[in-house]
Structure 1
Amino acid sequence: MSQHQFVSDDGQPPRRGRSQRYDPQAIAKYCRYRPWLVFWRAFTIFWYLGGFVLRFLLDRWRNVIEKNKLRRAADLRQTLTRLGTTFIKVGQALSTRPDLIQKDFLVELVKLQDRLPPFNNATAFAIIEEDLGRTPEEIYREISPHPIAAASLGQVYQAVLHSGEKVAVKVQRPNLRPTITLDLHLMRWAASWIAPWLPLNIGHDLTLIVDEFGAKLFEEIDYFNEARNAEIFATNFRDDPTVKVPEIYWRYTGLRVLTLEWIDGFKLTDTESIEAVGVDPNEVIKIGVISGLKQLLEFGFFHADPHPGNLFALSDGRMAYIDFGMMDQLDEYTKETLAASVVHLINRDFYQLADDFKALGFLASDTDITPIIPALEKVLGNAMGEKVKDFNFKTITDEFSELMYEYPFRVPAKFSLIIRSLITQEGLALTLDPEFSIVEIAYPYVAQRLLRGESPAMRRRLLEVLIQDGKFKWERLENMLAIAQTDGNLNLLPTAQLGLQYLLSEEGRYLRQQVLLALTENDRLHTQEVQRLWDLVKDEFQPHRIFDVAWNTIKEISSEQVTALMTLGHGK
């Protein structure tokens, strides 16, 4: 067996291998003793990018930009392709930003997602044999003679296992790691050189952002890591009938070869094919946004590269993820704070939002937020518009860039992938629907999570929303209920059961007191507010359904909760 055999006989993930983590110091040391490699790579980058810029400027000088726009768009794609994986990744990110890139260039950059030149077939089959210790013929009953798709990291073959399963076989491009290593070294050097010329709050973390990108890129070229990510992702979405994750075949997976279940579907941008099978593309996009929010706010484990080449619509209406190389993890506190910030934004609570920015690291912990509040209100208030649907990240990006020059905002390195993920999702959706608003979908989801109060953290955030300056805010509860019902996914009866259980618990003592005070504030019973709430929810509460919920709640009630109920009337 080859020394590169990394799969155990039981088909489980290997315990050892050649996987390497990104280490900028080790890379700098490597490059320091190989200056000729660094110089040649820098010259290559300058030659290709400089040539493109020169040709573009000549078009402008000769006043033929409009005439040559298609040629120049193809020129840019070809330039990035020649420069390899690192620059292709940049092009892929730009391909989802119709707000930044004109349409002609966008059409060409989209081709970087899965229409790249393949590498030699014999080389690919040699990599399979080297990594798995067996020839392709020994592993697969059938394998396509040529790749059916080529991407930045590798190319994909369609195959059939000897056991009959139809699979996709991803084979990594040769000599990928050395080129990426040089590119990251040069990017880090450029970031450190440029940073002093930028405002401190913009340039401060440039090298950290490069390091974050480098760490994820090194993880992405480790197919063992991608396979593990896919299984974690599948576990998180095991109860979600709208999301499909392909199965991993560990026995036929190595550091540079990944065998996974074949997915028959359509790229999200292929709206004609999607509609032809009776599926609404906008509904699939909505699934993508909701699943993205679940990743960020529930699971904390999120896909950081959701471009159209990685997402497919299935004929049964589901959406499939097929690439899990670039993922990241959020801690509980960050998830909670992100959820709270969405609510604070919608409620225009800019003071609390500024506190969220501090908690997330966009502002230093000792920053005086008082002078920042009016600026936030101006920028975010304008971006919000009169309706939730008027908000989008494109607008925020434009407005916030100006704010960063005047106030000590900075983008924490750990948020570069989150922002990329959100902007990529929104950019894809805007390509299909110019009227799309990510927050219009996001807020009902966040409102539902808060109303369900499924965890102590979510219940704390609910209290922050409903109680301000020691007073219960009826209009906020009314607003949350109205918005939470807009997508039809809120089942109020289980939510009401959870709410009643919480209200009767020791943890809910403070909320009980506030509700009682709110009901009797200013020496009058607030029946109008209660009536408006009832008008919102009454259709959900049919008599037989109410009885079922009440009976289930009574069965679960404890003696402590009975005491709480008895003390409710005393406001204790």
Structure 2
Amino acid sequence: MRRYDSAAITRYYRLRPWRAIWRTVSILWQFIGFLLGLKWDDWTQQSETYKPKRAAQLRHILTRLGPTYIKVGQALSTRPDLVRKDFLDELTKLQDQLPPFPTPIAFAIVEQELDRTIDEIYAEITPQPIAAASLGQVYRARLKTGQEVAVKVQRPNLLPTLTLDLYLMRWASGWLAPLLPLNLGHNLALIVDEFGTKLFEEIDYLNEGRNAEKFAANFADDPTVKVPSIYWRYSSQHVLTLEWINGFKLTDMQKIRESNLDQDALIEIGVTSGLRQLLEYGFFHADPHPGNLFATADGQMAYIDFGMMDQLSQEMKETLVDAVVHLINKDYVELAKDFVKLGFLTPDTDIQPIVPALETVLGNALGQNVRDFNFKTITDQFATLMYNYPFRLPAQFALIIRSLVTQEGLALSLNPDFRIVDVAYPYIARRLLTGESPALRRRLIEVLLKDGKFQWQRLENLISIARSDDHFDILPTAQLGLQYLLSEEGHYLRQQLILALIENDRLHTEEVQRLWNLIKDDIKPAQLFNAAIGALTDLSAAGATSLLPSVAALIKPPSHQSKAQSKAQSTSATRLNHSSL
């Protein structure tokens, strides 16, 4: 099989029930023995003495059970908030310290796949793998042309184990669903299918190579993110040759200190690149555990292993941005509607009873540090909600959540007190303020306007948050903002800004002064003048004509009658804007 097909797998194992029965007995036997061992340690009051032994026992069980269970262990190894330290140290070994398969078998696979001998391909290659993972192992080599490369060779006969485990997981989902919290069972089979689809993609190394090149193209403008080049001439479905990365794992604190790297800066790169994957490109790394992420001596973060990736639609990306905006604004009615669009609630769900519950759960979550603001905390708080309301987990979001929790766990391991919101908020604010697309500009309007009134405080907050990012330059943003305000597209926001400036028959100079005090240290008058000239240069004659009514409104404050008319126009424009959104 080249692609995952649940129906074909089911047909195959229904005709071979003894295989499924034997595998089930094997899995249960090993875990029951482990649990009985833990209980025996409690009964004999020797839990502390045997902790290292039980942790190693769990790692060996997952290793013996194969790649599916190894991946579960890898995910748990990134969660110090969920797994106690003695077990965590052992599970971390599942990332790249698994038992290798014999090198002669690996070299035979390379020669068969590439139709050349090892000596014909490589000037030198390590006699033993330098790392072994769940699906393959890696050798360090040098090509005849001199480039230093990593040679990734897939484990033999993976399909029988993967298909049998997926069949049992799908079968178990039928009777396990009612027992699970958070309504996970609503489409648990779809989640298993999504996982199966990604596993099959992951064991196709040609697909992984294409993913790596697409990922590299997305981050071509980001010098902090490194992606290895692919050597297609020396790659196939089961062998992948890629650029060697000189670096060390992000969890190697000693190497990070010796290299004088800033831990918080590394976390910022990871969080920001994760947000860009989800909200800008929609193409994200779904397996970012520490074995797949490296730091380089010059402070870059290198991504490797692009087998498990996923792509979000443009609509889903925009809805995710909507959800973030509504969460920042604490607009829980619109947030509930976002849950419907994302598939967490069905379209016929009555969201009114859900809104106060969302406010209760999420209301105080945003100000917490990374140890408190994690998915376990939110999931625990959501547990009662999920029993009382028809929430469900869309299949695609299983991978998104896995990606987020592993990156969150990595941040925890680097610095438990690091505040994720300190990185995420400036990124969101910067994207909204620069407004590089019409969709983002519409969302900026949504942030700045409420009930047809301009929200000065929100603009101040956005600028303050964005300025906390060292990479944020207010001057180009000011020029972009001015260009937008002077454009035809910015007519509505321009009108609302004029109305806000002359609201209640007075010029609101205090708000403008506060904004100026916020940015004056970053902008010199000459620079501001140049930015204005740059914006006006792009202004057409038609655009200039459209500005005249707005300028006239500033010159001549409105009478009571005109104020009423302005209010009516504002209401009309608000309705129009809401309909366009």
Is 1:222 matched with 2:169? no
Q: Which one of the candidate residues 498, 506, 523 is aligned to 1:541? A: 523
Q: Which one of the candidate residues 54, 66, 71 is aligned to 1:89? A: 71
Kept in 2: contact 1:383–1:395 (CA 8 A): no
Is 1:299 matched with 2:258? no
Is 1:320 matched with 2:302? yes
* Stretch of structure 1 that moved more, 327-336 or 152-161: 327-336
Kept in 2: contact 1:344–1:353 (CA 8 A): yes
Kept in 1: contact 2:375–2:405 (CA 8 A): yes
Describe the shift of the 1:288–1:308 C-alpha distance in structure 2 as closer, same or farther (beyond 3 A).
same
How far apart, CA to CA, are the structure 1 residues paired with 2:54 and 2:373? 33
| Superposed CA offset, 1:481-526 (max 9, x none) | 1111112221111111111111122211111111111111222221
How far apart, CA to CA, are the structure 1 residues paired with 2:179 and 2:248? 45
RMSD value, Cα:
1.7
| Superposed CA offset, 1:430-453 (max 9, x none) | 112111232221111011000101
- Cα distance, 1:544 vs. partner? 3.0
Aligned-partner SS, 2:48: coil
| Superposed CA offset, 1:388-440 (max 9, x none) | 99644342122122321122211111111111111111111111211123222
Match in the other structure for 2:573:
none
Gaps of 5+ in 2: 554-568, 570-581
Aligned-partner SS, 1:376: helix
How far apart, CA to CA, are the structure 1 residues paired with 2:92 and 2:368? 34
Match in the other structure for 1:450:
432
Match in the other structure for 2:551:
569
Match in the other structure for 1:427:
409
Aligned-partner SS, 1:356: helix
- Cα distance, 1:225 vs. partner? 0.6
Describe the shift of the 1:429–1:389 C-alpha distance in structure 2 as closer, same or farther (beyond 3 A).
closer
Aligned-partner SS, 1:540: coil
Is 1:472 matched with 2:457? no
How far apart, CA to CA, are the structure 2 residues paired with 1:487 and 1:208? 40
Is 1:246 matched with 2:221? no
After TM superposition, the structure 1 = structure 2 runs for residues 162-241 of structure 1, keeping only pairs within 5 Å, are 162-198=144-180, 201-241=183-223
Q: Which one of the candidate residues 458, 470, 473 is aligned to 1:491? A: 473
Q: Which one of the candidate residues 477, 482, 489 is aligned to 2:464? A: 482
Kept in 1: contact 2:182–2:386 (CA 8 A): no
Letter paired with 1:376: L
Aligned-partner SS, 1:174: coil
Match in the other structure for 1:9:
none
Kept in 1: contact 2:369–2:420 (CA 8 A): no
- Cα distance, 1:545 vs. partner? 1.8
Kept in 2: contact 1:392–1:437 (CA 8 A): no
* Stretch of structure 1 that moved more, 259-268 or 205-214: 205-214
Describe the shift of the 1:388–1:140 C-alpha distance in structure 2 as closer, same or farther (beyond 3 A).
closer
After TM superposition, the structure 1 = structure 2 runs for residues 65-464 of structure 1, keeping only pairs within 5 Å, are 65-198=47-180, 201-385=183-367, 391-464=373-446
Kept in 2: contact 1:392–1:438 (CA 8 A): no
Q: Which one of the candidate residues 518, 542, 555 is aligned to 1:560? A: 542
How far apart, CA to CA, are the structure 1 residues paired with 2:16 and 2:552? 78
How far apart, CA to CA, are the structure 1 residues paired with 2:399 and 2:532? 45
Aligned length: 554
Letter paired with 2:549: T
Letter paired with 1:237: F
Kept in 2: contact 1:389–1:440 (CA 8 A): no
Kept in 2: contact 1:156–1:170 (CA 8 A): yes
How far apart, CA to CA, are the structure 2 residues paired with 1:112 and 1:87? 10
How far apart, CA to CA, are the structure 2 residues paired with 1:175 and 1:111? 23
Match in the other structure for 2:558:
none
Aligned-partner SS, 2:521: helix
* Stretch of structure 1 that moved more, 162-171 or 465-474: 465-474
Kept in 2: contact 1:346–1:388 (CA 8 A): no
Q: Which one of the candidate residues 19, 30, 36 is aligned to 2:18? A: 36
Aligned-partner SS, 2:149: strand
Describe the shift of the 1:380–1:481 C-alpha distance in structure 2 as closer, same or farther (beyond 3 A).
same
Letter paired with 1:76: L
How far apart, CA to CA, are the structure 1 residues paired with 2:249 and 2:78? 14
How far apart, CA to CA, are the structure 1 residues paired with 2:369 and 2:293? 30
* Stretch of structure 1 that moved more, 414-423 or 536-545: 536-545
TM-score in terms of structure 1 length? 0.94
Aligned-partner SS, 1:204: helix
- Cα distance, 1:356 vs. partner? 1.5
Aligned-partner SS, 1:459: helix
How far apart, CA to CA, are the structure 1 residues paired with 2:234 and 2:184? 45
Kept in 1: contact 2:285–2:403 (CA 8 A): yes
How far apart, CA to CA, are the structure 2 residues paired with 1:525 and 1:369? 41
How far apart, CA to CA, are the structure 1 residues paired with 2:100 and 2:369? 47
Match in the other structure for 2:510:
528
Q: Which one of the candidate residues 17, 20, 45 is aligned to 1:63? A: 45
Letter paired with 1:254: S
How far apart, CA to CA, are the structure 2 residues paired with 1:567 and 1:325? 57
TM-score in terms of structure 2 length? 0.92
How far apart, CA to CA, are the structure 1 residues paired with 2:399 and 2:328? 23
Aligned-partner SS, 1:312: strand
Match in the other structure for 1:13:
none
* Stretch of structure 1 that moved more, 257-266 or 273-282: 273-282
- Cα distance, 1:156 vs. partner? 0.4
How far apart, CA to CA, are the structure 2 residues paired with 1:62 and 1:388? 37
How far apart, CA to CA, are the structure 1 residues paired with 2:379 and 2:415? 19
Poorly superposed stretches of 4+, deviation over 6 Å: 386-390
Gaps of 5+ in 1: 1-18
| Superposed CA offset, 1:7-45 (max 9, x none) | xxxxxxxxxxxx711111111112122222222222222
How far apart, CA to CA, are the structure 2 residues paired with 1:394 and 1:42? 29
Letter paired with 1:378: T
| Superposed CA offset, 1:373-400 (max 9, x none) | 1111111113234789964434212212
Letter paired with 2:505: D
Kept in 1: contact 2:482–2:532 (CA 8 A): no
Kept in 1: contact 2:483–2:536 (CA 8 A): no
How far apart, CA to CA, are the structure 1 residues paired with 2:415 and 2:156? 39
How far apart, CA to CA, are the structure 1 residues paired with 2:156 and 2:321? 42
- Cα distance, 1:172 vs. partner? 0.5
Letter paired with 2:351: I
- Cα distance, 1:144 vs. partner? 0.5
Aligned-partner SS, 1:539: coil
Aligned-partner SS, 2:364: helix
Letter paired with 2:194: E
- Cα distance, 1:55 vs. partner? 1.6
